[in-house]
Amino acid sequence: ATCTPKNRNDALHPLWQSPLTIPGGTRQSPINIQWRDSVYDPVLKPLKISYDPATCLHIWNNGYSFLVEFDDSADRSIIVGGPLENQYRLKQFHFHWGAINEWGSEHTVDSKFYPAELHLVHWNAVVYPTFEEAVMEGDGLAVIGVFLKLGAHHEGLQTLVDALPAIKHKDTVIEFDVFDPSCLLPPCPDYWTYAGSLTTPPLTESVTWIIKKQPIEVDENQLEAFRMLLFTSDGEEEKRMVDNFRPLQPLMNRTVRSSFQ
């Protein structure tokens, strides 16, 4: 069976243009995480993260978000443990954000939006030969989600922010030699996890989501820097890159597990 998005606005959302059906969509993302409905799972292990900053390649504007991509030709930047049966290789990270601080994240916690959300995208290179193949498989990807909240200046993020003017337009890229994404992770190990999907086409149901409970703090100028990026290419009529988040999707027959009590 196919399913059209429950809330019509998902289908007509500016980023989706045409009605969007996801064949047999039973585990779509993002979702609202209702804290009281999440189930503590004592079997969940701590998530082990080891990134090699030298695997950083470049930062680019893909017309939807800005991505920092990594050399994933070997097991140099990986995550293991948590809800995962295999180790997963870091491929890229990117963000979603709003036009104003009232919204911007993809996931919500007890229906609260954060102004932005970081996604660290990893793929199961133990089982699948390429990222493209992993994208099509139920255990193919693992994405760590980190909420951004308005607060103190974030030193590590500033390195990225300083590069954004150089990738203002869609399909612009600059080299980015050394960056350690660990600096974007909150110190608290607590997370929620659930089975979901990519939040942009092809929307494949291949993601084990690991959503960190504790947000990181960034300041207003850093959020504003995200909002000066453009969806559009150089020479086109400028459209600010804001509100690049997908509407919430139905939980359906899923339980969100927590690594904490």
Ligand X SMILES: NCCOCCOCCNC(=O)c1ccc(S(N)(=O)=O)cc1
The number of residues in the chain equals 261
The answer to whether 132 contacts ligand X (rule: CB under 6 A) is yes
Min dist. Cβ of residue 217 to ligand X (A) = 22
The answer to whether 86 contacts ligand X (rule: CB under 6 A) is no
- Inter-CA distances, 136 with 95, 201, 252, Å: 22, 12, 21
Residue from 78, 135, 229, 248 binding ligand X (CB under 6 A): 135
101-120: which residues touch Zn ion (CB under 5 A)?
119
The answer to whether 184 contacts ligand X (rule: CB under 6 A) is no
State which residue, 32 or 200, has the beta carbon closest to ligand X: 200
- Interface stretch with ligand X, choices 12-20, 146-154, 185-193, 196-204 (CB under 6 A): 196-204
The answer to whether 68 contacts ligand X (rule: CB under 6 A) is no
Residue from 198, 223, 230, 241 binding ligand X (CB under 6 A): 198
Min dist. Cβ of residue 237 to ligand X (A) = 26
State which residue, 38 or 197, has the beta carbon closest to Zn ion: 197
The answer to whether 193 contacts ligand X (rule: CB under 6 A) is no
Measured CA to CA, the distance from residue 89 to residue 93 in angstroms comes to: 12
Partner whose footprint covers residue 146, from ligand X, Zn ion, none (CB < 5 to 8 Å by kind) = none
Binding mask 13-52 for ligand X (x = CB under 6 A): ----------------------------------------
The answer to whether 91 contacts Zn ion (rule: CB under 5 A) is no
Contact residues toward ligand X (CB under 6 A) are: 119, 121, 132, 135, 143, 198-200, 202, 207
Question: Which residues of the chain form contacts with Zn ion (CB under 5 A)?
Answer: 119
